[in-house]
Structure formats: structure tokens, C-alpha cells
Amino acid sequence: MSKLLNKDFYLSEDVVQIAQSLLNKVVYTNINGQISAGIIVETEAYRAPHDKASHAYNNKKTPRTEVMFREGGIIYMYLCYGIHHMLNVVTGPEEIAHAVLIRAIKPLINQELMAERRKQPNDKFNIGSGPGKLSMALGLNLKNNGDNLQSKKGNIWIEDQGNPLTHDQIIASPRVGIGYAKEYAHHPWRFRVLASKYTSKPHKVSYT
DNA sequence: AAGAGGATGAACT
DNA sequence: GTTCATCCTCTTG
């Protein structure tokens, strides 16, 4: 059984809860008729306006961050370090700029195509084990910014295929690469599936 | 108009 | 563990 995640799922204001709920969900893309998909095994919650690690901190609205202020159920793509495209799920009602960064997936459908897009050897553990990696594997880039998640006829959507996780199957830890976020740097808003070999590498966390 | 810096990844040693 | 690739976005002037 599989069911498309709907508006109710995305409109919750509890972005930290949504980040956990997204684990074990399946993200599909249809890029020029080519379908690929992976199981989400790692996420991070970004909770504007108070969260300093969010691009929308203090409700800073710019041409880049504008999509995060829209109603939940679409995606926010941005470029990091000039190279890596990052996939985020926009959540919450309009004007609430919450988002969930998808940090790792386990290949599920069309692994061969994903490896080809990655221009790397077909190693299932190295296809989606990082936020930049999975975006490349799924064929996403900045042009997908603002794409709607709520139709299987679109470029990207997310399905619930059962197998929910219990609380003790989820590892919560501080987020990655946001040491500048001061008191928000220590919030345990990074979530991983326990014992999954498909997550990104554990990182040192730096506090300032 | 120019410059700094960033939710990283790969390929080195 | 270190380096560097590489470019958009925001800030400043």
C-alpha cells in the first residue's frame, strides 16, 4: 500500500515532528519521464523565524527564501558552496517559513539512473548519503525550486508506504554545519533512522 | 559593481 | 585530515 502525502501532513506547524515523520517515507522524482525514488533516512528541521540556522531567520524574505513563506507542500532548492543543490520540504501555513532539509536517502527505484546522474560508481551506500548527493541522484536542481509535492503528475512527490518507525528507531542529534547558529546549534533537530547504513557521515558539532 | 561566504563532496595525502 | 572545486545570494558602496 502506498499513499501520497497530502496537505494535512505538510500544513502542521510542528516542523520538528514533520522532520521525524518524513523518515521512512519515499521521495519520487519524474524528470523528463524518468522515474527514480529513495527512502528518506535522514532529515533536519529548520524552524524560522527564531532559528538562526534557517535562511529565513528573523523572517528574512528575499528572492531566494521567498518560497519558504508559501503554504507547505512544495520544495525549496538552493545552492550550497556553489556546487551542491539542497532539497528542502516547505511546511506550515503561509507566512510560516518552516522547512525540512532532506539529508539522505536509500535508493529504491532506478538506482542505476541515480548512479549515472551522480557520475560515480554504482555503490548503493554512496548514492544518496548526503544532501548534495541525493539531489543530484534524483535529478533535482535550482529549476525545481517551488515545485509542488502534492501530485504524482508533478516532478516530485512523497509517498507513505507503511512501515512507520517507533520513537526508539530514530536518532536525534544536533544539526550539521551550523555552528554559527549560537544557542540554536545544539537543538537536536537532525533525525536519522537507527542503524541505517545509508545516512550521511556523522559530523563533529562545533559550538561557539 | 564588487566581494565575501555558505544546511558540502570528492579526491587527495 | 586537508584541500579545493565553484557560483549564487546577499550586503555594501
Report yes or no: A14 and A95 within 8 Å, Cβ to Cβ: no
pLDDT in tens, A181-190: 988 999 999 9
Q: How far apart are CA A190 and CA A203, in angstroms?
A: 11
Q: What are the grid coordinates assigned to A150, written together?
A: 502534492
- Distance from residue A143's CA to nucleotide C6's C1', rounded to whole Å: 18
A156: alpha, beta or left, given left = phi > 0 and alpha = psi -120 to 50? beta
- Distance from residue A46's CA to nucleotide B1's C1', rounded to whole Å: 34
pLDDT tens digits in sequence order for chain A, 208 residues long: 789 999 999 999 999 999 999 999 999 999 999 999 999 999 999 999 999 999 999 999 999 999 999 999 999 999 999 999 999 999 999 999 999 999 999 999 999 999 999 999 999 999 999 999 999 999 999 999 999 999 999 999 999 999 899 999 999 999 998 988 988 999 999 999 998 999 997 644 433 3
Does the CB of A109 sit below 7 A from strand B? Answer: no
Q: Nearest residue (Cα to C1') for C9?
A: A64
Look up the pTM and report it. Answer: 0.94
Share of chain A above pLDDT 90, in %: 90
- Distance from residue A1's CA to nucleotide B7's C1', rounded to whole Å: 33
Q: How far apart are CA A178 and CA A204, in angstroms?
A: 11
Q: What are the grid coordinates assigned to A47, written together?
A: 524552524
